[in-house]
Structure 1
Amino acid sequence: MADLEALEDWVAPLLQRIEPAERSKLARKIAQQLRRGQQQRVIAQRNPDGSAYAPRKPRKLRSKQGRIRAKVKMFQKLRTVSHLKARGDSSAATVGFTGRIARIARVHQEGLSDRAAPGAPTVQYEKRELLGFTDLEREQIRDALLAHLTL
């Protein structure tokens, strides 16, 4: 995060010279790029540092006699555009989850305990960082800012 704070300190005076409408356009563009990167990482089941997500706990895969349910990757629906929102305005670019999904994502992001369903036992979830910056994303932010400022 120190890299982003240094980048913010460096670029803040330059961004103040740009009209608010242009800042909003730039923030939306950066937020969309970040969302795409976050989605790709969730598809690959990787933390921002490149390590794999902690595996799911083993579970019974036979629901009815003779049928075996296929293993489904974690967070398949969370990574969709309807749940993973990207917003940008003249003061900030944000990528995050909304509503009930935000609580579920936070439990996994921070490795908290929660109930899978009402009345179910409390389960301690492994830490799986859904949102975070990779080195490549930091470079993309810097490149997008420089490209916009040099136009």
Structure 2
Amino acid sequence: MMLSAISMVMVPVAFATSVGAKDVVVNNQYVQATAICSCGSYEYDHYITGTFLNYCPQCHSYGTLEFNPKGTPEGEWTCSKCNSDYCAADGKEKIDGSKYCLTQYNVTTTNTHNSTQNNTTQNQTLIQSEAMLKTFHQTILEQLALLNGKAFYEW
């Protein structure tokens, strides 16, 4: 009995579900959470709501972001395809020096008015175009780095 009580107390926080994040939304278009920054870009004392396109810039995959499968205390976005981790608050990849960042997404509410639906569709198309442009730019830089005989992160 005493042994089981000790083992329960010694469970690392990383195995717990997210204790810091709230209002998590995951769908095919976007992901959203209100969380404490876990990448070091912001103070560790206030919540930030981050809403991002459900797209991994590391492996160029749509719809693969999952919320906190590794159980970090603050919560994080993880790509189910390549296992890249991103801060739930600001979307930056959680590797020092990485230039990868999730694409911001603006959620608009839709109603039965056609103009609102058209604006939402146009916004989504623009956001997807922006993500594709960033992907293209990233790919070009990676190819140039390979041609110069250097790894991309050495640039």
Between structures 1 and 2, the one with greater helix share: 1
Q: What's the TM-score once normalised by structure 2's chain length?
A: 0.26
Structure possessing the higher relative contact order (Cα contacts under 8 Å, 6 or more residues apart): 1
